[in-house]
Protein backbone atom coordinates (compact mmCIF):
# COMPACT_ATOMS: atom_id res chain seq x y z
CA UNK A 1 0.00 0.00 0.00
CA UNK A 2 1.17 3.50 -0.68
CA UNK A 3 1.70 5.43 2.51
CA UNK A 4 1.29 8.82 0.84
CA UNK A 5 -2.41 8.02 0.26
CA UNK A 6 -3.03 7.20 3.89
CA UNK A 7 -5.67 9.20 5.70
CA UNK A 8 -7.25 8.50 9.10
CA UNK A 9 -10.48 7.52 7.34
CA UNK A 10 -8.67 5.02 5.12
CA UNK A 11 -7.12 3.31 8.14
CA UNK A 12 -10.53 3.13 9.83
CA UNK A 13 -12.02 1.64 6.66
CA UNK A 14 -9.22 -0.94 6.40
CA UNK A 15 -9.75 -1.97 10.03
CA UNK A 16 -13.44 -2.47 9.25
CA UNK A 17 -12.47 -4.66 6.28
CA UNK A 18 -10.40 -6.82 8.63
CA UNK A 19 -13.49 -7.17 10.84
CA UNK A 20 -15.57 -8.19 7.81
CA UNK A 21 -12.99 -10.83 6.91
CA UNK A 22 -12.99 -12.08 10.51
CA UNK A 23 -16.77 -12.51 10.39
CA UNK A 24 -16.47 -14.26 7.04
CA UNK A 25 -13.82 -16.62 8.46
CA UNK A 26 -16.16 -17.52 11.33
CA UNK A 27 -18.96 -18.23 8.86
CA UNK A 28 -16.68 -20.36 6.69
CA UNK A 29 -15.62 -22.40 9.72
CA UNK A 30 -19.22 -23.57 10.15
CA UNK A 31 -19.74 -24.52 6.48
CA UNK A 32 -17.96 -27.73 5.47
CA UNK A 33 -19.47 -27.54 1.96
CA UNK A 34 -17.14 -24.74 0.83
CA UNK A 35 -14.22 -25.25 -1.51
CA UNK A 36 -10.86 -25.60 0.24
CA UNK A 37 -9.19 -23.30 -2.32
CA UNK A 38 -11.67 -20.53 -1.51
CA UNK A 39 -11.08 -20.99 2.22
CA UNK A 40 -7.32 -20.80 1.71
CA UNK A 41 -7.63 -17.65 -0.42
CA UNK A 42 -9.80 -16.02 2.26
CA UNK A 43 -7.23 -16.88 4.92
CA UNK A 44 -4.37 -15.58 2.77
CA UNK A 45 -6.21 -12.33 2.14
CA UNK A 46 -7.04 -11.97 5.85
CA UNK A 47 -3.38 -12.51 6.81
CA UNK A 48 -2.20 -10.06 4.14
CA UNK A 49 -4.68 -7.32 5.07
CA UNK A 50 -4.01 -7.75 8.78
CA UNK A 51 -0.26 -7.35 8.13
CA UNK A 52 -0.85 -4.28 5.95
CA UNK A 53 -3.04 -2.60 8.57
CA UNK A 54 -0.43 -3.33 11.26
CA UNK A 55 2.25 -1.87 8.97
CA UNK A 56 0.21 1.28 8.33
CA UNK A 57 -0.44 1.68 12.05
CA UNK A 58 3.29 1.35 12.70
CA UNK A 59 4.03 3.89 9.97
CA UNK A 60 1.48 6.25 11.46
CA UNK A 61 3.06 5.87 14.90
CA UNK A 62 6.54 6.45 13.43
CA UNK A 63 5.28 9.49 11.53
CA UNK A 64 3.82 10.91 14.74
CA UNK A 65 7.11 10.35 16.58
CA UNK A 66 9.20 11.80 13.74
CA UNK A 67 10.90 8.52 12.73
CA UNK A 68 11.64 7.93 9.06
CA UNK A 69 10.29 4.85 7.26
CA UNK A 70 12.56 2.71 5.10
CA UNK A 71 10.38 1.92 2.06
CA UNK A 72 12.73 -0.85 0.94
CA UNK A 73 11.67 -2.95 3.93
CA UNK A 74 10.14 -6.30 2.97
CA UNK A 75 6.60 -6.94 4.12
CA UNK A 76 4.83 -10.29 4.33
CA UNK A 77 1.85 -11.04 2.13
CA UNK A 78 0.90 -10.98 -1.48
CA UNK A 79 3.31 -10.18 -4.25
CA UNK A 80 2.62 -6.94 -6.12
CA UNK A 81 -0.30 -8.10 -8.22
CA UNK A 82 -4.05 -7.65 -8.31
CA UNK A 83 -6.29 -10.07 -6.45
CA UNK A 84 -7.68 -12.80 -8.54
Give the per-residue pLDDT at 3: 53
- The number of residues in the chain equals 84
Give the per-residue pLDDT at 76: 52
* pLDDT greater at residue 28 or residue 8: 28
Average pLDDT over every residue of 2-7: 58
Query: CA 39, CA 41: separation in Å to the nearest integer?
Result: 5
pLDDT tens column, 26-60:
998 888 888 888 889 999 999 999 999 999 888 88
For residue 13, pLDDT beyond 70: yes
* pLDDT greater at residue 32 or residue 83: 32
Q: Which pTM was predicted?
A: 0.66
Helix intervals (H) in 6-35: 8-29
Amino acid sequence: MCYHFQTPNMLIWLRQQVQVLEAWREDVATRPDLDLEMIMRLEQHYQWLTAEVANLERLDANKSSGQRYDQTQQRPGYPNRAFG
